[in-house]
């Protein structure tokens, strides 16, 4: 399959093959061209499959290393230490190529080739992705299974799947926007509730599973951190999440790294705020005890 695609691509468009990769799931041919249009890919696929349907014979022959005909055979050149005859694979009227691999005796044995399009390759080159033979059938089967699953989930026919997904994406974006606005409102209300109390605690601790960094920073901004030490967390209560320690600059500089260490995370801070990611949110109670000890005695326990 690779021999056939390589030969036809060069004949039709002058695109030379510079390397290839025959993978387990799909195969790739690197072509010496900066781009290839969809129309060119379609024309190439049509041409290679025509050759398969024409049942073009494939023959293997051996030539002596000094045979003049070697010069007419497509190859990268023989290794310096090569000895003995040279194996040549001929696709009748299409290609003559040095190769030591196993080959079909007729192009019809390939069944079909499907070009999946191109991907960006090395500088000024592209990678042409293809499937051949039973891999095409397996790909069709997999696509059909996916199509059936989407039909069941989206409650419409295959021709409407794309539009249905676009509508879902629009709905999700709107819900996310509304959710963000609600979280902002909740953050402001939480802060105002704290500030409305006759006697305000020197330590404010809050965890909310649905929050984000903005949610925590809004609370910190609204409460003010000149006198109050805030420990805010969002995310999974027992696993990973985000944290924010805010308060007097000196206190945060002293406690921030300790808090990150207790939570199994990393963070950074400046101007009275230390925030980062945590992997052990279940240890929030230990952090709270550390902060309470600092407020009570002016320094955390060792």
> pLDDT digit string (tens) for 3-41?
999 999 999 999 999 999 998 889 999 999 999 999 999
Which of these three, 136, 158, 176, is where a domain ends? 136
Could you read off the pLDDT of 105-156 as tens digits, one per residue? 999 999 999 999 999 999 999 999 999 999 999 999 999 999 999 999 999 9
CA distance 243 to 236: 11
Could you read off the pLDDT of 240-286 as tens digits, one per residue? 999 999 999 999 999 999 999 999 999 998 889 999 999 999 999 99
Which own/partner pairs from 181-185 qualify as long-range (CB within 8 Å, at least 24 positions apart)? 183/210, 183/211, 183/212, 183/214, 183/215, 184/214, 184/215, 184/218
- Measured in whole angstroms, the distance separating CA 61 from the mean position of its chain's CA atoms is 45
30 and 129 belong to one structural domain: yes
Q: Taking each helix axis as running N to C, give the angle between helix 213-223 and helix 161-195, from 0 to 180 degrees, rounded to the nearest 10.
A: 20
Q: What is the CATH number of the domain that holds 240?
A: 3.10.310.40
CA distance 238 to 47: 59
Q: Is 142 domain-assigned?
A: no
Q: What is the pTM of this model?
A: 0.67
Q: Is 157 domain-assigned?
A: no
Model confidence at 227: pLDDT above 90: no
Q: Is 28 domain-assigned?
A: yes
263 touches 291 (CB < 8 A): no
pLDDT of residue 302: 41
CA distance 205 to 289: 11
**Most confident of the following: 46-60, 185-199, 261-275:** 46-60
26 and 109 belong to one structural domain: yes
Per the structure, the count of domains in the chain is 2
Model confidence at 225: pLDDT above 80: no
Query: Which residue range(s) make up the domain with 231?
Result: 192-297
- The tokens for 264 are 């199994």
Model confidence at 76: pLDDT above 70: no
Model confidence at 85: pLDDT above 60: yes
Among the listed residues 241, 41, 228, 212, the one whose alpha carbon sits nearest the alpha carbon of residue 127 = 41
pLDDT of residue 274: 95
246 touches 206 (CB < 8 A): no
- The tokens for 66 are 């000094």
CA distance 8 to 5: 5
């Amino acid at each position: 399959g690779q021999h056939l695609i390589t030969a036809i691509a060069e004949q039709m468009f002058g695109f030379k093959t510079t390397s290839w990769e025959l993978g387990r799931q799909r195969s790739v041919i690197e072509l010496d061209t900066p781009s290839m249009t969809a129309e060119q890919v379609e024309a190439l696929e049509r041409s290679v499959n025509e050759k398969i349907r024409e049942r073009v014979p494939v023959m293997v022959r051996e030539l002596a290393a000094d045979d003049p005909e070697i010069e007419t055979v497509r190859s990268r050149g023989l290794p310096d230490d090569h000895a003995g005859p040279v194996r040549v694979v001929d696709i009748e009227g299409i290609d003559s190529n040095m190769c030591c691999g196993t080959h079909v005796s007729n192009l019809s044995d390939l069944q079909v080739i499907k070009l999946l399009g191109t991907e960006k390759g090395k500088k000024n080159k592209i990678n042409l992705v293809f499937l051949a033979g039973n891999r095409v059938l397996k790909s069709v089967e997999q696509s059909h299974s996916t199509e059936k699953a989407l039909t069941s989930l989206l409650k419409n026919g295959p021709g409407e799947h794309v539009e249905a997904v676009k509508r879902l994406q629009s709905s999700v974006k709107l819900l996310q926007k509304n959710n963000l606005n609600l979280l902002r409102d909740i953050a402001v209300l939480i802060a105002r509730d704290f500030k409305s109390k006759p006697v305000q605690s020197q330590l404010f601790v809050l965890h909310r599973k649905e929050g984000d960094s903005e949610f925590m920073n809004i609370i910190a901004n609204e409460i003010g951190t000149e006198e109050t030490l805030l420990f805010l967390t969002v995310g999974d209560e027992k696993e990973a999440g985000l944290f924010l320690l805010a308060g007097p600059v000196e206190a945060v500089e002293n406690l921030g790294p300790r808090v990150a260490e207790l939570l199994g995370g990393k963070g950074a801070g400046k101007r009275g705020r230390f925030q980062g990611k945590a992997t052990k949110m279940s240890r929030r109670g230990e952090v709270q005890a550390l902060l309470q000890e600092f407020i009570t005695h002016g320094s955390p326990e060792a």
